[in-house]
Amino acid sequence: MSNGFKYSVVTVSAILVTLLLVGAMVGQSQEGSPADPYKHINVFTEVFAKIKAYYVEEPEMKNVTLGAVNGLLVSLDPFASYLNADQYKQYLKTKEDPKAGVGLLLSRKYGYEIGIVDAIDGSPADKAGLATGDIIEAINGISTRDMPLAYADVLLHGEKGTTVELTVLRLRRPEPTKVTLTRAVVTPPALESKMLDKETGYLAVADLSAGKSRGVAAAVASLQKQGAAKLVLDLRHSAVCVPEEGIALANLFLEKGTLGSLSGQKVKKQQFEAVAEKAVFKGELVVLTNRGTAGAAEIAAAALLDNKRAQVVGERTYGDAAQRKAIATDDGGAVLLAVAKYYSPGGKAIQDVSVTPSVAVADMEPEPLDEDESAQAKPTPAPKPEAKPAEDLILKRALEVLSGKAVQAAAQGRN
């Protein structure tokens, strides 16, 4: 057995022990009988050895190792990563001093490729037209297939004014597109509030970073002073977040009831209850969601829906509500893994099932391709059109729900 092969087995086995012991304890708590993680490690090691001995050509064991580790992690948590020692150092440095970035939130939720959860409004990525569901195949020419998710985020950051080239597979485009983005300091989107008519307020919350719920409370109070007795809470493309802000946001509209819970095998279960004094709005409420709604926004939407406080109108949310932690490995690296999940008041793990709206409406269709765009990919995509579609179908349906027209239409359909 070569030294390289031994090292690969030891590296993977160390990670497997960490993860499978987690699985064993979960299995014990859920099924009442202990699981044997070492049995699974033995199977894995044997398969690893067979690959080394019988594959059609001498395999690059480093790639085999990374592929195995990534496959294991993605099966548990689409946002998980294993970082080697050098990558982990870069990751910590970026966390301490993020400098500039491109405004992308990433995941491996739908497979081994790195996908875009959302592009922050006004960011370089947003201005280039990148959106939820796009796939990043390479960063600066480096394939992302076996790239740790957290390391991909590291590569997107750097000095302000420097560039990064992405190879992106975009919706309805047959070939990958090269996109060059210039890094910039990305600021969280501001709250958007306005009156839609004399009694209906509109509040778009595209960012739920720390303390943002206090700004929401102030904006709601301002709308009420303007006459708002009904409210549209727009959580579409709200993915930048601190999960706890989702609980705080829901409490602004609920005087009583369970807002959700957090639990994990190493995290003591916490159940969050509404505090009456924190509620600021008692009128009719509709919440808007789409595929870019993630994290804290999903926690809030689930709480309001399960408590029958609001109708949720739009698309199924992304599915990301977890507490994550960097767990050190013996090689100096780390595993970034979900250690606890947020659950809806109804007991569903939001990361696993997302939030399904009570009134389903598809978000706006993507712009059709020009003939030359269909024929070949351009070096850089055209900027996102400034002009919005004539009609926001999700908002339109939300207003129908508030006016009672949607209920009337449903009743007529049953007759």
Whole-number average pLDDT of the chain:
84
Q: How many CA atoms lie within 13 A of 368 on its CB side?
A: 2
Grade residue 6 by pLDDT with cuts at 50, 70 and 90.
Answer: very low
pLDDT tens, residue by residue, 245-294? 999 999 999 999 999 999 999 999 999 999 999 999 999 999 999 999 99
- The pTM assigned to this predicted structure is 0.82
* Residue, of 49 and 206, whose pLDDT is higher: 206
Give the pLDDT confidence score for residue 30 in this predicted structure.
Answer: 41
Contact 263, 343 (CB under 8 A): yes
Q: Where are the alpha helices (DSSP H) in 252-331?
A: 296-306
- Separation CA 188–CA 241 (nearest Å): 10
Contact 256, 282 (CB under 8 A): no
Which of 87-101, 172-186, 359-373 is predicted with the least confidence, judged by mean pLDDT?
359-373
Question: Stretch 137-147: mean pLDDT, rounded?
Answer: 92
- Separation CA 209–CA 245 (nearest Å): 7
Grade residue 364 by pLDDT with cuts at 50, 70 and 90.
Answer: low
For residue 67, give the DSSP letter.
Answer: H
- Cβ neighbour number for residue 246 with a 10 Å cutoff: 29
Contact 196, 162 (CB under 8 A): no
Question: 81: which strand partners?
Answer: 336
- Cβ neighbour number for residue 34 with a 10 Å cutoff: 11
Largest CA distance in the chain: 77
Length of the chain: 415
SS3 153: helix
DSSP string for 188-204 = PPPPEEEEEETTEEEEE
Q: Is the pLDDT of residue 17 over 50?
A: no
pLDDT tens, residue by residue, 288-326? 999 999 999 999 999 999 999 999 999 999 999 999 999
pLDDT tens, residue by residue, 162-199? 999 999 998 777 799 999 999 999 998 899 999 999 99
Return all residues near 58 (Cβ < 8 A) that are at least 6 apart. none
Contact 91, 151 (CB under 8 A): yes
Q: How many CA atoms lie within 13 A of 205 on its CB side?
A: 34
Give the pLDDT confidence score for residue 146 in this predicted structure.
Answer: 82
CA 395 to each of CA 219, 236, 290, 412: distance values in angstroms, whole numbers, following the listed order: 19, 11, 11, 22
Q: Which two tokens stand for residue 120?
A: 């922050």
Gyration radius from the chain CA atoms: 23
DSSP string for 166-177 = EEEE-TT-SS-E
Give the pLDDT confidence score for residue 363 in this predicted structure.
Answer: 77
pLDDT tens, residue by residue, 257-266? 999 999 999 9
Grade residue 87 by pLDDT with cuts at 50, 70 and 90.
Answer: very high
- Separation CA 276–CA 274 (nearest Å): 6
